[in-house]
Amino acid sequence: MKESAFKSVKDLPATHVLGSGTPACAGCGALEGIKIFCDILGDKTVFVNAAGCMTLLTVYPFTPFRGSWIYTAMASAPAGAQGVRDALDLLIRKGRLKPKDDLKVVVLTGDGSAYGMGLSSTSAAIYRELDFIYICYDNEGYGNTGYQFSAATPHAARTATSKGVGGYWGYKKDLFSIWAAHRPTYVATVVGTEPLDMARKIEKAKDLKGSKLFIVLSPCPTGWRFEPAETIEVGKLAVKTGAWPLKEYINGKVVHTKIPLPRGKRPLVEEYLKRQGRFAHLFSPTRNEEVLEEIQARVDAYWEGVV
């Protein structure tokens, strides 16, 4: 594996491939992450975009991507990627496309597709060893339709469909482990507020053959209920508190790329939760110690198994 070209944040590209005028909610964490992907992957791409928030980037016949773009139904993006990849391979085989002009096939979905209704087609694509990059922008809910809960919604968060006193009753699905169990070429968790970690992982994966999958934590001011100016701080707290582990799966092994401070020295998870209105009911009108302790215990237990 070649050494990363990114030694510091200063090495990251200065100009984003996506235009700064791209329509999206102010402070969108998903757009923050996608810009970094576009910077590093460059122009020779085909984005296969499943229905979701990022579909709103395009206004037919225009898109903010300098490469190509195709729209699919929410559950069908990996199947669409298979068709695009097969077509490109056929053109190369017939001499109608030079290998140097080949395009990278990139699936772009939200967590509603990645964790739920599109998981079957993703599983099949990995099983077929499809050569593609899969990007899930994980804003932990169905953000494009009013922010209903999804299989990525964390425990106790309030959404449009979990408004009860306790918030969402379920627990966030471990998509990283599900994908890694398929033994793909590469899997990683990233967040746009840790751009150097993210850039190094994209650079490492982009030229590998096979299925490469990324889960991008995407703080959502609209659904998570915080001020857009706080997106970066919220994303950093997700990592500092240990709530969002940064890790990668490669060559059959899971490696954590950023280890938070030990228990007692790192911020409590509640410092992350306090910044989001979707968890406000855990602090007011009365503090819900039981749920807060449960959330903290689950994070602590995770890191006890790592370090």
Do the beta carbons of residue 197 and residue 257 sit within 8 Å? yes
253-279: per-residue pLDDT in tens?
999 999 999 989 999 999 999 999 999
Flag whether 2 is in a domain: no
Instruction: Show the domain range for 170.
Output: 9-304
pLDDT at 17 > cutoff 70 = no
Q: What is the pLDDT at residue 305?
A: 87
Mean pLDDT over 38-52 rounds to 95
- Please tell me the distance from the alpha carbon of residue 215 to that of residue 136, in angstroms, as a whole number: 5
Q: What is the pLDDT at residue 193?
A: 96
Do the beta carbons of residue 60 and residue 36 sit within 8 Å? no
pLDDT at 23 > cutoff 70 = no
144-177: per-residue pLDDT in tens?
899 999 999 999 999 999 999 999 999 999 999 9
pLDDT at 38 > cutoff 50 = yes
217: CB partners within 8 A, 6+ apart:
29, 138, 189, 190, 191, 235, 238, 244
pLDDT at 57 > cutoff 70 = yes
Residue 12's pLDDT band, with cuts at 50, 70 and 90, is very low
286-300: per-residue pLDDT in tens?
999 999 999 999 999
In the chain, the DSSP E strands lie at: 45-50, 68-72, 104-110, 132-138, 186-191, 211-217, 246-250, 253-258
Q: What angle do CA 133, 136, 140 make, to 5 degrees?
A: 170
What's the structural domain count of the chain? 1
Q: Give whole-number Cα distances, 265 to 111, 160, 240, 261, 262, in Å.
A: 31, 35, 10, 6, 6
Q: How many CB atoms lie within 10 A of CB 114?
A: 31
- Please tell me the distance from the alpha carbon of residue 89 to that of residue 168, in angstroms, as a whole number: 45
Q: What is the pLDDT at residue 283?
A: 97
Q: What is the pLDDT at residue 257?
A: 98
Residue 4's pLDDT band, with cuts at 50, 70 and 90, is low
> 246-250 and 253-258 as β-strands: parallel, antiparallel, unpaired?
antiparallel
pLDDT at 22 > cutoff 60 = no
**Could you give the count of Cα atoms lying within 13 Å of 198 in the half-sphere of its Cβ?**
29
- Please tell me the distance from the alpha carbon of residue 221 to that of residue 230, in angstroms, as a whole number: 8
For the whole model, what pTM was predicted?
0.92
The average confidence (pLDDT) of the chain is 92
- Please tell me the distance from the alpha carbon of residue 181 to that of residue 97, in angstroms, as a whole number: 35
Flag whether 4 is in a domain: no
Flag whether 18 is in a domain: yes
Q: Which amino acid is at 229?
A: A
Flag whether 3 is in a domain: no
Flag whether 258 is in a domain: yes
Compute CA 4 distance to the chain's CA centroid, rounded to the nearest angstrom. 21
Q: How many CB atoms lie within 10 A of CB 73?
A: 13
Phi, psi of 215 (to 5 degrees): -110, 115
Flag whether 1 is in a domain: no
Q: What is the pLDDT at residue 21?
A: 42
Do the beta carbons of residue 179 and residue 192 sit within 8 Å? no
pLDDT at 20 > cutoff 50 = no
Q: What angle do CA 142, 147, 151 make, to 5 degrees?
A: 45
Q: What is the pLDDT at residue 14?
A: 38
Q: Which amino acid is at 233?
A: E
User: What CATH number did the domain enclosing 145 receive?
Assistant: 3.40.50.970
47-61, 66-80, 180-194: which range is least confident on average?
Answer: 47-61
Flag whether 222 is in a domain: yes
Mean pLDDT over 216-244 rounds to 97
